[in-house]
Each structure stands twice: as C-alpha cells, then as structure tokens.
A and B are shown apart, each in its own frame.
Chain A
C-alpha cells in the first residue's frame, strides 16, 4: 500500500528548526512519507505543497506563541483551494502565555483543526493519532 503523505512545517515567522527536524525523522521512521517545508512556512506554502503532492494531512508546528494568529483562516483557505476535508493538526507552544489547555484546544478546534497538541507532546502521541485518523494499521 502507498505510504500516507504528510506536509509538515513551522508556521509564520517562527524559525525553531530543531523540533521540526525531530518530527521529520519521527514521522518518517513511523512509515509516513513526509514533505518537510522547514521553518517560516506561510499558509499558502502548506496548501501548495499539499495540492501538488496529494497529501493526506497537514501538520503545523508553532513554538513562538503566535500560532493563534498564524493559523487563523488556514482551514478556510484549504476549503477554497480544493483541499476540503484534509486532516489538519497543530502542535507546540501555540498561544501566548500560560492558558488552560482545554480552552486553547477548543479555540483551535473551532478554527478547523482536527487535533491540537500542547507543549511537550511526544511524537508518538501524534503518530498514534495520525495512524488512527488516516486508518493506518
């Protein structure tokens, strides 16, 4: 069977490259085909890459606290670009300051993200979620 394809990257003006590399290796080792856009990725770049590669999911990272602003409208743009229903994940330090994570999660779900992961999430958690959502045994 073909490998499931993920487009990953760090959104906005965020240059945190280490976590991005770790996720790339962890997802690849877990059997996914990973298209890594690196750091400072715009919403349009995720979408362009997902269209061209026929990706199954977009996994957005954000470490610098501005994720909430950077992620706004991504789901709507995906719908507009013909990627309706594509799996959208977000994870990292995605909001400013210390806020109750349940509320943060709620806000990102409302923005159209299928799964929302807080700081310190091990890659395995995300991998298991991806396998479940994409129907990979």
Chain B
C-alpha cells in the first residue's frame, strides 16, 4: 500500500482525500471546518484524525495540496483592447485558477495605479499588443506600474518586441517575462503565462504565513484549487494512455460565494455556414460567476432569474421565499434540514446552474443578409457535448442533482445559447475532483480510475 494524502485548503473547509496509488483506489475522505481566524494547521490535523479513524492509516507516503484559502489567488489583468489582449489575459488568469479582482484596458492612469495598490493583488498580468504590434500601450503601462508603492509581482506577457524594455522600466521589481498571451491577432497562447502564474502562487503560499507550517508536510505540487479541478476535468475528459476518458464535457462547481464553469471541448462552429466572431477560445476554459453562489451570493441568483421563478420552482409563495432568502443570508452556515429549505436550495441551485452555464457557453445569432440568412457564433459551441459534471458542496445534500444538472442544458428559455442539447449528468458525490487533479500530476492512471469509479452518473 502506498497512501497518498491530498489536501484542499479552502476558506471554510479543509478537505482531505486519501488514495492508495499501489492499488489504485480511494481509501477515504474527510473534512474539517476551518475559519479565517482559526489556524489552518488545526483544520488539517482534525481532518487527518478523522481519516485515520476511517481507514486506519495515519502515515502518508506523499502529500499534495491545493488551496483557495484567504480568497485564493487574486489577480489583476491589464491589456490593450478589451475584446482582444484584455480578454486573452483574463482567459490566462482564470485558467490558472485565479480570481480576477479587476481588469484594465488601454493606458493605465495614475489613479488606476493607486487603485491597484489598494486592491493589492497577488500577481499583475501585464499584456498588450500582438508580437510586432502596438508598443506604446504596454510601455506606458509598465512605466505607470513602476510607480506602484507595493512590490507586487508582475508577469509581462505582451508584444515580444518590447518585453526587454518593460523589464528595464520595471527594474528593481519582481518582473517575469513570458511569451505573449496573444502573439497573433485572435490567437491565444495562454499556457506559458499560466505556468509562471502557478509557480508564483506556489512561492507566495510557501512564503505566506498561515500555510508555512502545513506546507512542511507537503511533498511537492501545490496549486490553486480551481486549477486542480481544471486538471481533473481534463483528465476525466481526455483519458490517459489506453484508458479512455468520458469525452468532451462541461463542468459546474457550485460554491457558496461563486460558481465556476469549466468546459473541456473544442466548441468550433459546427458548419461552414456559421461565421465565428471574436477571440479564439481555449480548449480547457474556465469562467467564474462572482455574483452566483448558494450562500454569500444567493441574492445574485435571485436577481438573475427573479425571485418569482425561485418561488414557483420551490413551490413556495414569494413572501415565504423572501423570508427564507433573508434568513439564509444571515445564517450562511445553515445546512438545509427541513423540507422548505431543501426545496428552496434545489431551486436556487437549478437557477445558479442555468445562469452560470448560459454565461459560459457561446451563442449563435441568426442574421439576415441580402444573400439570405446566415449565422454568427461567438464563444464556444457546446451543443454536442454529452457530459455535464457537477461538483460543489451545495449539491451534497440534494436528492435532485439530476434535475439540477438538467438546467445546464439548452432549453426554450435560452434559444440562442449553445449549451449541451442532451447530456449525461455526472456528480462528484464525494467531492474528490480537486484531489484527483492533484493526484493526476504524478499518478494520472490512478486518478482517472478513481474518478471513473467514484463519480456517478444519472443516465441521459
């Protein structure tokens, strides 16, 4: 037996998964409540004690961890044109598992720089210009950032022809040069920037105060939790070696404060008659809805679809729905127990899944031209994607996950949305996706095997 401990340091829970890589199986899972105030090491110790009780194993051959504690990896992205390099910078940051605090387009002003100082992100991603393209913008922005008070690491991934000049301008700061996120107009090149972002994250966490002690336990990989989930989804979708994956998928992580949507799919137009508009989309894409979440952001859900719909889905009156929503806002740690709360939670989850999946997927628009009708697609076409994977604490208590998942599929309410038409719904019941993403770095076969066994599906 070779027990490998996988830890996910969250802001409210420390979750642990124990896997045996010799036998290729899951040994157990345990989690422990942690608060911002309480020591994160305590949470880990508690979770490990529970694991030992469950499995009898208290020693680990290896330990890997991901973290979204203390708000996760916070980034600011700056670029030139909003739809082009700013969008590319956003894709790069989100795909690296970051939370984007703010984006800036065109030239930074002095007050922008003051704002950045105030926001104090972990990393700034500075982009602008295609290779050989615009120079003025990124050089101007580098100059502005050189006036920043705080020493925030800057990843420069813009026009390669002025990277060295950027470095000179930012002399004395932590600057990391990197390949352009958009070397040619419309082409994304986000992996090199993501690699540097993850390395910086590791460094920050290791140096950071709260986790230093816990990190002594960890043997290697550490990454932002969303990044681990993205890796797990990629493995589950694409398979490894001889072992096939489940194919293209859309994944939804329904959290208390935000809802993350992932798609592992090409999403190119299905026919030559469809004109594609906008920046190329990454094959593995992540979007974050900061206003959609089951507790901290439940008002955002109600605003997105209307309280009336939540009420009718939950079979409650509007007044009662309002009451319950207010109560949940006040008592965020309430675990739904009684019937009414469960129904409300299901309705909220369904609305969250619907809203977040619509925002993630592309759209197709019918356009009438003098030559007849034609179609314009923007974003990813996920209509032929056959798998929807659901994860997130909010789903653990629900008995209607299949129904909630079906809200990620295209319906009459959103005729222009390119969401999956007909898909099988998979549920991460044991909440192991992030852990499997960590495990996949060294033991992809084991991680894939465990996911295929443990993540259950509800027919199609």
Interface residues of A (CB under 8 A from B): 2, 5, 13-15, 33, 35, 38-40, 45, 48-49, 51-55, 64-66
Q: Are A48 and B81 in contact (CB under 8 A)?
A: yes
Q: Are A40 and B376 in contact (CB under 8 A)?
A: yes
13 additional A-B pairs beyond A40-B277, A52-B134, A65-B370, beta carbons within 8 Å, are: A13-B367, A15-B369, A48-B81, A48-B84, A49-B84, A52-B84, A52-B182, A53-B129, A53-B133, A53-B134, A54-B133, A64-B370, A64-B371
Complex Cα–Cα for A45 and B83 (A): 9
Residue of chain A at shortest CB distance from B88: A52
Q: Are A15 and B371 in contact (CB under 8 A)?
A: yes
Q: Is the interface of B mostly helix, strand, loop or mixed?
A: loop
Complex Cα–Cα for A52 and B376 (A): 23
Q: Are B370 and A66 in contact (CB under 8 A)?
A: yes
Q: Are B376 and A49 in contact (CB under 8 A)?
A: no
* Selected A-B contacts with CB under 8 Å, 8 pairs: A5-B132, A13-B374, A39-B275, A48-B81, A52-B80, A54-B135, A64-B369, A64-B370
Interface residues of B in 73-89 (CB under 8 A from A): 80-81, 83-85
Q: Is the interface of A mostly helix, strand, loop or mixed?
A: loop
Q: Give the distance to chain A from B354, nearest Cβ to Cβ, in Å.
A: 30
Q: Are A53 and B130 in contact (CB under 8 A)?
A: yes
B80 in complex: contacting residue of A13, A51, A66, CB < 8 Å: A51
Interface residues of B in 83-140 (CB under 8 A from A): 83-85, 128-130, 132-135
Residue of chain A at shortest CB distance from B368: A13
Complex Cα–Cα for A95 and B369 (A): 16
Complex Cα–Cα for A49 and B368 (A): 25
Complex Cα–Cα for A53 and B182 (A): 10
Q: Are A52 and B275 in contact (CB under 8 A)?
A: no
Complex Cα–Cα for A38 and B276 (A): 10
Q: Count chain B residues whose beta carbon lies closer than 8 angstroms to a beta carbon of A.
A: 23
User: Which B residues lie within 8 Å of A66 (CB)?
Assistant: 370
Q: Give the distance to chain A from B268, nearest Cβ to Cβ, in Å.
A: 14
Q: Give the distance to chain A from B129, nearest Cβ to Cβ, in Å.
A: 6
Whether B70 sits at the interface, judged by CB under 8 Å, is: no
Residue of chain A at shortest CB distance from B131: A53
Whether B396 sits at the interface, judged by CB under 8 Å, is: no
Complex Cα–Cα for A65 and B368 (A): 15
In order of increasing CB-CB distance, the 10 nearest A-B pairs are A53-B133, A13-B369, A54-B133, A54-B134, A48-B81, A52-B84, A53-B130, A35-B185, A52-B81, A40-B275
User: Which A residues lie within 8 Å of B85 (CB)?
Assistant: 52
Complex Cα–Cα for A97 and B277 (A): 30
Complex Cα–Cα for A117 and B376 (A): 28
User: Which A residues lie within 8 Å of B129 (CB)?
Assistant: 52-54
Q: Are A15 and B134 in contact (CB under 8 A)?
A: no
User: Which A residues lie within 8 Å of B132 (CB)?
Assistant: 2, 5, 33, 53-54
Q: Are A52 and B133 in contact (CB under 8 A)?
A: yes
Residue of chain B at shortest CB distance from A82: B106
Q: Give the distance to chain B from A71, nearest Cβ to Cβ, in Å.
A: 16
Q: Which of B129, B182, B275 is packed against the most chain A CB atoms within 10 Å?
A: B275
Q: Are B370 and A51 in contact (CB under 8 A)?
A: no
Q: Give the distance to chain A from B92, nearest Cβ to Cβ, in Å.
A: 16
Complex Cα–Cα for A111 and B129 (A): 28
Q: Give the distance to chain B from A70, nearest Cβ to Cβ, in Å.
A: 11
User: Which B residues lie within 8 Å of A14 (CB)?
Assistant: 369
Complex Cα–Cα for A48 and B81 (A): 6
User: Which B residues lie within 8 Å of A52 (CB)?
Assistant: 80-81, 84-85, 128-130, 133-134, 182, 185
User: Which A residues lie within 8 Å of B275 (CB)?
Assistant: 15, 38-40
Interface residues of B in 115-170 (CB under 8 A from A): 128-130, 132-135
